[in-house]
Amino acid sequence: MPTRVLQGVIRVEPEPAPLSRLDFRWRLSLEEQIAIERAMEEHPDPNVRAQLRILEKSLAQVTDASGVKVEDPRTQGGAAATVQVLVGAGLVTPANAPTRLAALLAPPA
């Protein structure tokens, strides 16, 4: 658990609750999800198609019990890779990439 010192008092802060797989997926807009699904089948670059399938498989392996922890370095790396794949696939503009990454990694409300 994260700790911090505030005015000489050590405080232990609870870790944020993990997101469900569905909640994490819905951090992408419906249009982005549709574009990803179509790109997995139709994108002209086979490497992009493979990367999108791998990212989807990774998310499918998350159990509801463990959830998606946005503070986990693996989640952060996967989110960054997801955004880069989406940019490379032309599904997200480079200018919008930081916004999409921030939305994927925002702490649960």
The pTM (predicted TM-score) of the whole model is 0.70
Is the pLDDT assigned to residue 93 strictly greater than 90?
Answer: yes
Determine the Cα angle at 84 with ends 16 and 67, to 5°: 25
User: What is the tens place of the pLDDT at every residue in 15-31?
Assistant: 778 888 888 888 888 88
The domain segmentation of the chain, as residue ranges, is 17-105
DSSP 31-89: HHHHHHHHHHHH-S-HHHHHHHHHHHHHHHT--TTT-B-TTSHHHHHHHHHHHHHHHHT
The two structure tokens encoding residue 71: 């503070």
